[in-house]
Structure 1
Amino acid sequence: MNPKRRHLSLLAAAWAAPLLAPRRTWAADSPIGTPGTPGLPGPVGHGDGSPQWTLLRRRLFGEREILVGEASRVRLIVPLRAAFGASVPVRIVSRQAPGASPRVRRAWLLVDRNPSPLAATIDFGEDIGPADLETRLRVDEYGHIRVVHELDDGSLHADSRYVKVSGGCSAPPNRDTPELIGRTTLRLPEGLNPGRPTPLELTVLHPNDTGFEMNQRTLLYVPAHFVRRLRLQLGGRLLLEAETDFSISENPHWRLSFLPRERAEVLSAEIEDSREQHFHARLDPAGGRDGGGS
């Protein structure tokens, strides 16, 4: 689907839910729900649903069963209270062993109450290690962050966390170095480990403007401008491809792992933003140097 059309349709779906609609928990749609979790407001639980999630779930997954709790093969780690709504750390941990079958082939990362709730749709290549990811999100209101994994056998596995933070979509980004927008860096923080999961970090210098930030001098809203697609390859083979939105924080940063072969292969990154600008980076592990590009 055209990314712009997808963004608009999901945004409309999320905000079509009446604010005064009766409370429906995720438990009403699938066998989960943990009301009364300590530290959360009122009867809210980390596994509860929301009107926005009800609509998103129907649009993305129809009536398909989504496994949760002990049956789920994915775990989401998010702080209950984040220091800054524009940069909330998120860690997705797969409970699938590396190389296990069926493998994780796709993931969805969602923020229920954001203006654009679908933060990322991620496809994994066969050279990915455990399908673990770390990134940072913008969170606009108190609410749930969710992840859904799809395995090769078609099964869906999910986890969710309620987060107490707000203001992430209207927080202005750092504009001190606009000339560096698009600079992309690939790093192997622990070096190359052939045959074993090897951490890889990808960073793109980009404001990821949401369109909801106000310029304090002109009092006009800053137009939306964000990374909308990234593609990582290993030796020309797909490692990871993600369609993203402005719910990913400023200067998108991703940490994942891959399974390098005995022969070192070149890593490459291709980035596209909402203004159809393209940025690139390349890293040759055999050279023993980090890679950067624009």
Structure 2
Amino acid sequence: MHKTLSGLLAGAALLLSGTVADLRAESTWNAIKPAIFQDRAIHQSGDMIKLDAPYRTIDDRTIPIAINAQVSDGRSIRSVTLLADDNPMPVIAVLRLANGETRLNFRLNIRLDGTSPIRAVVETSDGALYMTEKLVKTSGQGACASPPVTDLDKITDTIGKMEFADVVTGASASGQTLINRRGRLKITHPNLTGLQMNQVTLQHIPARYIDTLTVWNGEKQLFTIESGITVSENPEIEFDYRLNGSSNLTVVATDTDGTRFKSVLPVGPSS
């Protein structure tokens, strides 16, 4: 998948602009799939991918989604595309790995406008695609249009601030060693969808969301994420990394206003 996320989103949005009758004639997935993956074959993942998502949400604005993927036949994982079929912007995020990894553990929080299938599509190093999916039922809050929690009058004081820490409790810490770690990155950003309304003026708030995020461990790039409005306000992501002698992670993010955010964050047992 060499297209930028903006191109994928534009193509998917164009297809979804068809008539209701057209959408009723075929499933939403069959409508959006050609815009994202063209006519490429997508295989069922079997045991290659595990997608962890709640059957029913507690809060539609922040839903934990986790993916675990592994290949063991000489190939590696090139990218993962996460999708929510029935959200206004179906592509949640595209995660591109930089180092030919054979295993992936990744978690992020998303928001859903309503009940939707969630899909994870893994691309391997030979260009093959594998998919798993899970239906997530919501309370019907319409979270993509829910008012932001962030005080937008004070946004300049906090936007783009980042925190990083190793995950040290619960199931997320299982299998951690001194070298192999799992960390959690928190970013302060309203991730405005363009569908939310100012509760005083009753005018729509312009969209402004993180669209790219790149993480380095010392001089070694780990991954890049291209994301859209389905990622929750104040994003949190968890990912595996290895201590490699560097004392810092470097994180660079951009948003759709063209603002660039950069943080150098300590890593390791004391981070």
**What is the aligned partner in structure 2 of residue 89 from structure 1?**
64
C-alpha distance in structure 1 between counterparts of 2:38 and 2:6, whole Å = 22
Structure 1: runs of 5 or more not aligned: 25-49
Say yes or no: does 1:223 pair with 2:206: yes
Deviations 1:206-241 (Å, cap 9, x if unpaired)? 111101111111111111111110000112221010
Where 2:164 maps in the other structure, the secondary structure is strand
**What is the aligned partner in structure 2 of residue 38 from structure 1?**
none
1:17 is displaced (CA, Å) by 6.1
Give 1:64's match in structure 2, choosing from 35, 40, 59.
40
Indicate conservation of the 8 Å contact 2:165/2:267, yes or no.
Answer: no
Say yes or no: does 1:202 pair with 2:175: no
**What is the aligned partner in structure 2 of residue 282 from structure 1?**
264
Indicate conservation of the 8 Å contact 1:184/1:203, yes or no.
Answer: yes
**What is the aligned partner in structure 1 of residue 229 from structure 2?**
246
Where 2:32 maps in the other structure, the secondary structure is helix
1:193 is displaced (CA, Å) by 4.2
**What is the aligned partner in structure 2 of residue 187 from structure 1?**
165
The aligned amino acid for 1:74 is I
**What is the aligned partner in structure 2 of residue 131 from structure 1?**
104
**What is the aligned partner in structure 2 of residue 10 from structure 1?**
12
**What is the aligned partner in structure 1 of residue 53 from structure 2?**
78
C-alpha distance in structure 2 between counterparts of 1:113 and 1:15, whole Å = 13
C-alpha distance in structure 1 between counterparts of 2:70 and 2:100, whole Å = 17
Indicate conservation of the 8 Å contact 1:128/1:239, yes or no.
Answer: no
C-alpha distance in structure 2 between counterparts of 1:243 and 1:217, whole Å = 32
What is the TM-score normalised by the length of structure 1? 0.79
1:198 is displaced (CA, Å) by 1.0
After superposition, the Cα gap between the structure-2 partners of 1:145 and 1:58, relative to the gap in structure 1 and judged at 3 Å, is same
Where 1:132 maps in the other structure, the secondary structure is strand
C-alpha distance in structure 2 between counterparts of 1:254 and 1:125, whole Å = 17
Where 2:226 maps in the other structure, the secondary structure is strand
Greater CA drift, 122-131 or 202-211:
122-131
**What is the aligned partner in structure 2 of residue 34 from structure 1?**
none
Where 1:247 maps in the other structure, the secondary structure is coil
Indicate conservation of the 8 Å contact 1:128/1:258, yes or no.
Answer: no
Indicate conservation of the 8 Å contact 2:76/2:102, yes or no.
Answer: no
1:283 is displaced (CA, Å) by 2.5
Where 1:144 maps in the other structure, the secondary structure is strand
More strand by share: 2
Greater CA drift, 115-124 or 181-190:
181-190
Deviations 1:148-197 (Å, cap 9, x if unpaired)? 001112221111111111311011121235221110122223499454x3
The aligned amino acid for 2:35 is R
Give 1:141's match in structure 2, choosing from 114, 117, 139.
114
Indicate conservation of the 8 Å contact 2:8/2:35, yes or no.
Answer: no
The aligned amino acid for 1:14 is L
Say yes or no: does 1:172 pair with 2:147: yes
C-alpha distance in structure 1 between counterparts of 2:110 and 2:210, whole Å = 13
Where 2:192 maps in the other structure, the secondary structure is coil
The aligned amino acid for 1:186 is F
Q: How many residues align?
A: 258
- Percent identity over the alignment? 24
After superposition, the Cα gap between the structure-2 partners of 1:251 and 1:127, relative to the gap in structure 1 and judged at 3 Å, is farther
Say yes or no: does 1:119 pair with 2:121: no
Greater CA drift, 217-226 or 10-19:
10-19
Where 1:123 maps in the other structure, the secondary structure is strand
1:10 is displaced (CA, Å) by 2.3
The aligned amino acid for 2:217 is L
What is the TM-score normalised by the length of structure 2? 0.86
Indicate conservation of the 8 Å contact 2:5/2:94, yes or no.
Answer: no
Indicate conservation of the 8 Å contact 1:271/1:279, yes or no.
Answer: yes
C-alpha distance in structure 1 between counterparts of 2:109 and 2:31, whole Å = 24
Say yes or no: does 1:160 pair with 2:133: yes
Say yes or no: does 1:266 pair with 2:242: no
